[in-house]
Amino acid sequence: MPQHWIDLTALWLTVRLAAVTTLILLVLGTLISAWIVFTRSRLRPIVEAVCALPLLLPPTVLGFYLLVLLGPQTAPGRLLTHIVGHPLAFTFWGLVIGSVIYSLPFAVQPLVAGFQSVDPALREQAALLGAGRIRILRELLLPLSKRSVLTAITLVFAHTVGEFGVVLMVGGDIPGATRTLSIAIYDQVQDFSYAQANHTALFLLIVAALALIAAYWRSPHRELTHV
Amino acid sequence: MSDTLPQAALPDAALQEPALPDSTLLDANIAHRYSDFSLEVDFRIAGNPSAPWTILFGPSAAGKSTLLRILAGLTTPQQGRIALDGLPLLDTARRIFIPPGRRNIGFVPQRAALFPHCTVAENIAFGLRHLPPAERSHRIDEVLTLVDAQPLRDRKPARLSGGESQRVAIARALAPRPRLLLLDEPLAALDAAAKPQIIACLRRSGIPILYVSHDLSEIWSLPAQTLLIESGRITAHGPLQQVLAPHREKLLAQLH
């Protein structure tokens, strides 16, 4: 048995990445989902499609374009480099940007479904009583969609913990900076450290299984959205 | 039709044309079309303190609910002009649209639509955000007393009966002191015993009411004006018993 049964540096980095991504997506996903539910704009299907794109796109495609976008060859990349003082590719914050985009559908889809399940008559009554969209979101849609919010948090966190392709493309494999647990498994297998790889893989398997059980766990009649 | 309004409600109306008479509460001229149904109405409701109720009476699918939703601002018609106390709420030609929460109009739908995660008091407080806490609490007590629902103050909607829910919905709509209250068959789903109590609560409020019904037995004894709507057109406008006299046979049939 090695000194540590799992790469603690990679574990800490993975947890930090998943926590920061979840926090950002909780805010961003809520705002995008509320816009999708409220809007009458013709752009809605396009925005929904863009938000769902990471579900179908190979992670390497997303990673490649992010790498190009964050690098010095493009205007946004040069602007970001100018703002933070160094290129974002192959850094922790580069990974965060990649993870936020890659996990976006895991936040938006449950939140949109939750907001849409709130009886439209309740939204109308709130509007009649003088509430604007922000207040309807804060005082009606979010409290009545608690389950969907918890599902979004769980799925985004677990998905970020387990991502590989985008992380490898955008972050490379720098210990302490961009080497997450899923990358560590790859390295361990390359080094024939199968026991160590097994520990890491088992840990990720348990995290994913627990997250899904939490997402599917519901006691009957928990969430009342109708009167 | 507006020209059948009783002259007593519109003093010197002829002299004041084309300006609206002082007593006109609601003035609406609406044209709205959806799928194969068209709604075309032009009417005025007078602010008559002795008969502050107007019954919007008509068969199912006559356009009653659509008209109410347009007046409340929940549906935007293709063309129209609506004014409350002479102030425009909607004028499609001038691109004026006052949103529902700023029209000073209350609306109680057929289902109470209470916020399920809030207590009765919190439901009523929702429209009183502009008041300081003490005043808000006082107003909540006031409207709960009006609808005989004081003991329900801290209950969640899931623990209310149908009649209780409707009374709370009415209290919630009355709380911000609307200039006009729209009621879309709020008693339709209730048993006969609950109806007179709620009608009495509403009458005590003293607020002008536009009340949608297709049940003659519910409204026959009310001192009210009536708009008769059929297939999206207003076909009669006048005192209730006069306008609905031809329908009385149907009422008797319903009662027996």
Residues of chain A with C-beta less than 8 angstroms from the C-beta of B114: 227
* ipTM of predicted complex: 0.85
CA–CA dist A53, A59 (Å, integer): 11
Query: Cβ(A182)–Cβ(A160) under 8 Å?
Result: no
AA identity, residue A26 = L
Q: Which of A124, A224, A227 sits opposite B165 (nearest CB)?
A: A227
Nearest CA in chain A to B101: A130
Q: How far apart are CA B97 and CA B103, in angstroms?
A: 10
8 Å CB contact between B215 and B252: no
**B219-227 average pLDDT score:** 84
Q: Are strands B209-213 and B24-34 parallel, antiparallel or unpaired?
A: unpaired
Does B71 fall in a domain? Answer: yes
A151 falls within a domain: yes
DSSP helix/strand/coil, A38: helix
- Compute the nearest-CA separation of A222 from chain B (Å): 11
Whether residue B144 contacts residue B155, with contact meaning beta carbons closer than 8 Å, is answered with: no
The total of structural domains in chain A comes to 1
pLDDT, one tens digit for every residue, chain A (227 residues): 445 778 888 889 999 999 999 999 999 999 999 999 999 999 999 999 999 999 999 999 999 998 888 888 888 888 888 888 888 888 899 899 999 999 999 999 999 999 999 999 999 999 999 999 999 999 999 999 999 999 999 999 999 998 888 888 888 888 888 888 889 899 999 999 899 899 999 999 998 899 889 888 865 555 444 43
* CATH code for the domain of A136: 1.10.3720.10
Band of pLDDT at residue B254, cut at 50, 70 and 90: low
**Residue B12: pLDDT band with limits 50, 70, 90:** very low
Q: What angle do CA A146, A151, A156 make, to 5 degrees?
A: 130
In a domain, B197, yes or no: yes
Whether residue A125 lies within 8 A of chain B, CB to CB, comes out as yes
Is residue A226 in some structural domain? no
Of A127, A130, A225, the CB nearest to B116: A225
For residue B152, what are the contacts with CB-CB under 8 A and spacing of at least 6?
B120, B144, B160, B164, B168
Structural domain including A168 reads 8-216
Q: Which residues of B touch A130 (CB under 8 A)?
A: 101-102, 127, 129-130, 176
Confidence grade of residue B48 (pLDDT, cut at 50, 70, 90): confident
**A213: Cβ–Cβ under 8 A, 6 or more apart, which residues?**
none
Cβ–Cβ below 8 Å for B126 and A139 = yes
Q: How many domains does chain B have?
A: 1
The CA distance from B47 to B25, in Å, is: 5
- Domain containing B216: what range? 2-111+183-255
Q: Which residue in B has a C-alpha nearest to residue A142's C-alpha?
A: B117
Tokens coding B63: 């356009």
- What's the CATH number where B105 sits? 3.40.50.300
In this complex, do A128 and B107 lie within 8 Å of one another by their Cβ atoms? yes
Name the strand (E) or helix (H) holding B196.
helix B194-205
The amino acid at B76: T
Please state, in angstroms and rounded to a whole number, the distance separating the CA atoms of residues B249 and B152.
Answer: 40
